[in-house]
Amino acid sequence: MTEPSIMDRIGPAWRAAAGTDMSRRRFIKLTGASGLAVGLVSAGAAGAATPKGVAGKLKPGQQPGAFVHIDRKGVVTIQINRLEFGQGSQTGLARILADELDADWSSVRAELAPAGEAYKDPAFGLQMTGGSNSIQNSFTQYRELGARVRAMLVEAAARKWKVDAATVRTRAGRLIAADGRSAGYGEMSEAAMALPVPASVTLKKSGEFRLIGKPANRLDAADKSTGRQTFGMDMRRPGMKTVLIARPPHFGGTVASFDAAQAQAVKGVDSAMQVELDRGATGVAIVADGFWPASMGRDRLKIQWKAPAELPDSRKLDAQFGALLGRDGLPARAGDLSGMAGAKKTIKADFHFPFLAHAPMEPLNAVIEMSGTGDGRRCDIWTGTQFQTIDQATVAKILKLKPQQVRIHTMFAGGGFGRRATPTADYLADTARVMKAWLAAGRSEPLKVVWTREDDIRGGYYRPLTMHRAEIGLGEDGRIAAWKHTIVSPSILKGTPFEAFLVKDGVDGTAVEGVADTAYDLPIAVSVHHPAVNVPMLWWRSVGHTHSAFVMETLIDRIAREAGRDPVALRRDLLGKHPRHLAALDLAVRKSGYGKKSLPAGRAWGTAVHESFRSVVAHVVELSIEDGAPTLHRVTSAIHCNLAVNPRSVEAQIEGAVLMAIGTTLDGAEITLRDGVVEQSNFDSYAMPRMPDMPPVDVHIVPSGDPPTGVGEPGLPPLAPAMANAIFALTGKPVESLPIRL
Amino acid sequence: MASFKVNGRSVTADVDDSTPLLWVLRDSLNLTGTKYGCGVAQCGACTVHLDGQPVRSCVTPVADVEGASVVTIEQVGSGRIGQAVQKAWVEKDVPQCGYCQSGQVMSAVALLRDNAAPGDADIDEAMEGNICRCGTYGRIRAAIKVAAANLN
């Protein structure tokens, strides 16, 4: 039993709106490449085939639709249709394809594909990386590609050796005939290229996998340990200038007037230009030879700003949201609350969750370059992005180009956590607007637009400020008689291209996921308010589950205490119809020693389990309070993500999600506003978890052969509530807000 | 104008004296392995070795390195400790997004130079200034211990 997340609804809705039908994609051979090159093309897609005369000049990976290339030496290069920003999809998808191909893993390379029709998510019709979907949605796609290329190589060998193709085996990049003759894939690649791509192939049975399901190190580990990995921030083009943008102190603010005389006097500063920015704002762009002159120039700008009408303030927002908790909102789930009247005990709790910035380690940036004229006019962008299709369309509109004239080169990104998937394409739209102003000034050099850390922390697109209220009536036997639940959370989808088909009956599913679709068998009614707030907001790793899991999982422990039940036993009772939840919970509990091992004085257990992105994660923590702060001694985790394609990568993602969740508990891990101005600006004011905050984490994976489900996000939601439950066990005082302040 | 050594090579930077070493490395010398993360010595992504000591290059004005010797992530692997650390990083599959790892490696090499067998508390203290947003701290700890064991 898996509930679709909001991200699962975005794709089909977008596809329907855009009129694209990914099921009509065909497998194709690519022209002009040496060796064997196979890709995908949408039937009837304009411009998908490589133009004549150009093919020979392009590397196989640069040809539209390329997915697999085997050169004469047998090196296999695989195009990855996702951003790699830490989650490990580059390695995972390569291993999936390589397994069906029976490739020699040491000969496999993987590159990030540019924006292109063929690289759209096969389920969504949108090129994107998010919702923990990379492996789950491209699992079959990459297997089918690998199996087809293998079949072509086998057929080529069979014809050359004049034997039945059914008698030709493959193993680690070699073709082997029954009589012992053998050849490497590279040797047979050109002969295979002369054959048609088979219309259908038989995929391996799960017992036949050689790479899938086996732990492997990342393909990029060495480059990332030696400084050789190139990120968007490291991109450089001939003649390129660096741009920093002076942004208004308030969201949607504008430039009333500015004086750039002192900025222009800085050696290395080229120009100062007023530019249009995201959400109707304007600012001043400093164009310079390198970051430091741009920074000095920006510091020396004198700008009179015009503030927008609405200046959000955290104290006022808290009061406004708090007042809404007392009123019924839009119905998100109907439930029978008749049991409330006869309740013997009630639990009433209010919860508060702040705005959060994603703060990926690599601040946002993009390099933009214009070239050509007329129909050959082209815009190249190098950036780390989770949302190529939206970015391409948005940039094209700003620069008055067709989307196919905008080439987005996907760079490795230093984290993202959702920040690089904006429905407004904000950072690339700003980059395009700067280029528009640059062109209008009669200039044409390539530009690198860089966000400083301060620009990033103060730049909005936060996890929304959110409050919950639960009123739970318990019967005489401790059973849950009625549960009234109210959520106040601004919609992140309203005002975006997704609103029309994703905000249903006024309810933004990202605000209520994890509550309205809870796996627990509960008499719960849920309503939601979506107040409009002048702050840009966005999904943040695990989206609504960042708060909903905390609320649900801490309430379960409070109910258990009122009912005199063991919290794990109560969970098991309420999850009876959900075997994956039970499997993850039982595995984490068993491995942790919960209920068997006695803890040192001052330590307590805390447990939580939650489903998100179609996977279930349970955490059991050991926690004490040291100098007034919660201190984790051990985290034992279990994930049910069906088939774990690369168990080592699954472990890494759970470890990372645990750390990011610990970050949300730290004093100072919140974005607040005063009179419309964000009060934090860098890591000295916005708290980050550091090495001493990281406990030992033991990750266990529930064995399964079913098609893979999400991994990047599901580890995050249950960690903070497990900590809160341990604190509740120690102090008897419930924790009702993040960050945790004792 | 400042003259100093980077990875054994003599360089002269014709930039404003206030320019942080980080931007000389990245923009003038095209040594982009050293990363910008915060600009205020809070995250450690820009860590380099200045006359053997780890420093935050984002707040080190180039005027202050006149005559000094700078080693960056591009060169640190040519030393015995750097090589052991980078090998351990790959073995323990440390990186995720990888953006902070140049700084992590530089800090780890400096730690092992001072302390051949660091314990958890030593590692926490030496590495606390290096932020990793992806949560690779556990693997960094393990990799430092592997490197220390291989060096001893």
Cα separation, A467 vs A469, whole angstroms: 7
What's the pLDDT band for A28 if we cut at 50, 70, 90? Answer: confident
Query: A164: exposed, middle or buried (C-beta count within 10 Å: 0-12, 13-18, 19+)?
Result: exposed
Note the pTM of the prediction, 2 decimals. 0.96
Q: Which of A430, A571, A415, A241 is nearest to B27 (CA)?
A: A241
Domain of residue A382 covers 232-308+364-450
Chain B residues in contact with A225 (beta carbon < 8 A): 86, 89-90, 94-95, 98, 101, 105
CA–CA separation, A587 and A576 (whole Å): 16
Mutation choice for A interface testing from B58, B102, B134 by most A CBs within 10 A: B134
Residues A61 and A192 in one domain: yes
Nearest Cα of chain B lies from the Cα of A651 at a distance, in angstroms, of 11
A–B interface: beta-carbon pairs under 8 A? 183
Specify whether A238 is located in the same domain as A377. Answer: yes
Q: Which residues of B touch A233 (CB under 8 A)?
A: 32, 35-36
Arithmetic mean of pLDDT, A97-102: 98
Is there a domain that residue A698 lies in? yes
pLDDT value at residue A60: 56
For the cut 70, the answer to whether the pLDDT of residue A388 exceeds it is yes
Q: Verify cis geometry, omega within 30 degrees of 0, for the bond prior to A293.
A: no
- pLDDT, tens only, B22-52: 999 999 999 999 999 999 999 999 999 999 9
Instruction: Say which range, A13-27, A32-46, A482-496, A626-640, has the weakest mean pLDDT.
Output: A13-27
Between vectors from CA B8 to CA B2 and to CA B11, what angle results, nearest 5°? 25
In a domain, A313, yes or no: no
A227 contacts on B by Cβ (under 8 Å): 32-34, 72-74, 102, 105
Residues B62 and B95 in one domain: no
**Sheet of A269-276, strands arranged across:** A269-276, A282-288, A241-246, A447-450, A365-371, A378-383, A406-410
Residue A150 has pLDDT above 50, yes or no: yes
> Are A346 and A289 within one domain?
no
Angle between helices A719-731 and A545-563 (to 10 degrees): 30
Check residue A607 and give its pLDDT: 98
Q: In this structure, are A344 and A374 located in the same domain?
A: no
Q: Confirm or reject contact between A178 and chain B (CB < 8 A).
A: no
In a domain, A315, yes or no: no
Specify the DSSP class assigned to residue B110.
H
Model confidence at A737, in pLDDT bands (50, 70, 90)?
A: very high
CB contact A691 to B (< 8 Å):
yes
Q: What is the CATH number of the domain that holds A109?
A: 3.30.365.10
Asked if residue B94 and residue B122 are part of one domain, the reply reads yes
All residues of chain B having their beta carbon less than 8 Å from the beta carbon of residue A242 are 27
A529 and A389 co-located in one domain = no
* pLDDT tens readout for residues B118-135: 999 999 999 999 999 999
**pLDDT class of A13 with cuts at 50, 70, 90:** low
A321 lies in a domain?
no
- Average per-residue pLDDT for chain B: 98
Among A162-171, A198-207, B83-92, the range scoring the smallest mean pLDDT is: A198-207
Question: Same domain, yes or no, for A262 and A236?
Answer: yes
| Max Cα distance, chain B (Å) | 44
Nearest to B135 among A242, A660, A696 (CB): A660
pLDDT of residue A65: 79
Element (H, E) at A532: none
Is a pLDDT exceeding 90 seen at residue A589?
Answer: yes
Q: Which of residues 112-151 of B touch A (CB under 8 A)?
A: 123-124, 127-141
The domain in which residue B47 lies consists of: 2-74
Q: Examine residue A87 and state whether it is found in any structural domain, yes or no.
A: yes
A666 three-class SS? coil
pLDDT band at residue A7, thresholds of 50, 70 and 90?
Answer: low
- B82 and B69 share a domain? no
- Structural domains in chain A (count): 3
Flag if A362 and B130 touch (Cβ within 8 Å): no
Q: Is it the case that residue A430 has pLDDT exceeding 60?
A: yes
The answer to whether residues A672 and A717 belong to one domain is: yes
Kindly state whether residues B85 and B147 are assigned to the same domain. yes
- Whether the per-residue pLDDT at A712 is higher than 90: the answer is yes
* Tally of domains within chain B: 2
Cβ-Cβ contacts under 8 Å, A112 against chain B: none
Same domain, A577 and A686: yes
Give the percent of chain A with pLDDT over 70.
93
> Rounded to a whole number, what is the distance in Å from the CA of B9 to chain A's nearest CA?
18
Sheet with A629-640: strands ordered across: A603-612, A615-626, A629-640, A697-701
Sequence-ordered strand ranges (E) for A489-644? 503-504, 507-508, 524-529, 603-612, 615-626, 629-640
Q: Which of B41, B74, B107 is the last residue of a domain?
A: B74
In a domain, A317, yes or no: no
For residue A681, give how far its alpha carbon lies from the nearest alpha carbon of chain B (Å). Answer: 10
Segment A244-271, tens digit of pLDDT: 999 999 999 999 999 999 999 999 999 9
Among candidate residues A406, A428, A450, the one where a domain is terminated: A450
Mean pLDDT (whole number) for A444-459: 98
Residues A320-347: what's their mean pLDDT?
A: 97
Please report the pLDDT score of residue A498 as a whole number: 76
Return d(Cα A297, Cα A301) in angstroms, integer.
7
In this structure, the answer to whether residues A100 and A244 fall within a common structural domain is: no
**Within this chain, do residues B131 and B94 fall inside the same structural domain, yes or no?**
yes
Chain A partners within 8 Å of B28 (Cβ): 290
CATH number at residue B103: 1.10.150.120
pLDDT of residue A56: 44
Q: Is A675 left (phi over 0), alpha (psi -120 to 50) or beta?
A: left
pLDDT at residue A487, as a whole number: 98
* pLDDT tens for each residue of A55-68: 445 555 556 678 99
Residues B87 and B54 in one domain: no
Domain shared by B110 and B142, yes or no:
yes
User: What are the residue ranges of helices labelled H in A226-307?
Assistant: 261-264, 291-299
Q: What count of residues does chain A have?
A: 742
- Of residues A15 and A711, the one with the higher pLDDT is A711
Do residues B147 and B87 both lie within one domain?
A: yes
pLDDT in tens, A409-422: 999 999 999 999 99
Residues A385 and A335 in one domain: no
Residue where a domain terminates, one of B74, B103, B126:
B74
Q: Is A276 in contact with A433 (CB distance < 8 Å)?
A: yes
Q: Out of B22, B46, B74, pick the residue that ends a domain.
A: B74
Nearest chain A residue to B78 by CA distance is A226
| B92 and B131 belong to one structural domain | yes
* DSSP string for residues in A611-661: EETTEEEEEEEEEEEETTEEEEEEEEEEEE-SS-SSHHHHHHHHHHHHHHH
Residue B23 and residue B82 in one domain: no
Query: Considering CB atoms only, which of A452, A684, A697 is closest to B42?
Result: A684
Let me know whether A11 and A92 are in one domain.
yes
For residue B90, the chain A residues in CB contact (below 8 A) are 217, 221-222, 225
pLDDT of amino acid A125: 83
CATH of residue B8:
3.10.20.30
* Domain shared by B69 and B102, yes or no: no
Within the 133-172 window of chain A, which residues sit less than 8 Å (CB to CB) from chain B? none
Indicate if A504 and A562 belong to the same structural domain. Answer: yes
Domain edge (last residue) among A400, A422, A450: A450
C-alpha span between A680 and A703 (Å, rounded): 44
A457, A181, A104, A488: which is closest to A324 by C-alpha? Answer: A488
Residue A741 lies in a domain: no
| Stretch 15-74 of chain B: residues touching chain A, C-beta under 8 Å | 15-16, 18-20, 23, 26-28, 30, 32-40, 42-43, 45, 72-74
User: Is there a single domain that holds both residue B145 and residue B93?
Assistant: yes
Q: CB distance from B7 to chain A under 8 Å?
A: no
Domain end marker among A168, A198, A225:
A225
The answer to the question of residue A314 being in a domain is no
Of B20, B74, B99, nearest to A292 by CB-CB distance is B20
Give chain A positions within 8 Å (CB) of B40: 453, 682-684
Average pLDDT over residues A449-466: 98
Return the structure tokens found at A64: 């539209």
